[in-house]
A = this chain, B = another copy of it.
């Protein structure tokens, strides 16, 4: 990775995220992180004091919910399949942008308080948005939802599962691309939820 155009602090943060996501918190040394950032170990400690604080600072880069709120407010067109596809695409975009932090949070060997909470806060919100959306669609007669929350949850789990599966370089199931999964899964759910 090339971090050369960034300031020292950012280079250290990115190197840490990259390496810890790959090998875990205890699997990486501060020396390695510093080298990957093209800096000395000393500089790392001057900036962050401790290894743990370095990781905590890295997590402050996690963001997510705002975009989703925007999506639900502005981009949906009232067509079940198209909207689900929009949601799916936005979801994967966000997840991929933060994929390394999410990887770390899944591995989660470090018991930094609030990590999981912080990364889970946003999916929870998405679940709410989606369930509400389904209720709205039902009112318009464009969907039938006996249990909107569970149905929204099922949709999210399929997307989440595909994302986790894709985390490991996506080569777990040969011949299946994320793109075509998004198409197919939204088509399936659109049909399942259609009146």
Contact = CB atoms under 8 A, between A and B. Distances in A.
B116 A168 contact: yes
Contact of A173 (B26, B147, B153): B153
A120 interface: yes
Copies in the complex: 2
A76 interface: no
Given A23-B109, A149-B176, A192-B191, A157 B181 contact: yes
Given A184-B147, A189-B188, A106 B106 contact: yes
Chain A facing B: main interface SS: helix
Interface stretch (A9-17, A64-72, A159-167): A159-167
A161 B157 contact: yes
Given A124-B173, A164-B160, A188 B26 contact: no
Given A150-B184, A157-B185, 11 more contacts: A23-B109, A24-B24, A25-B27, A106-B107, A147-B184, A150-B180, A151-B184, A153-B176, A159-B161, A160-B165, A188-B192
A154 interface: yes
A124 B188 CA distance: 21
Contact of A153 (B27, B147, B149, B181): B181
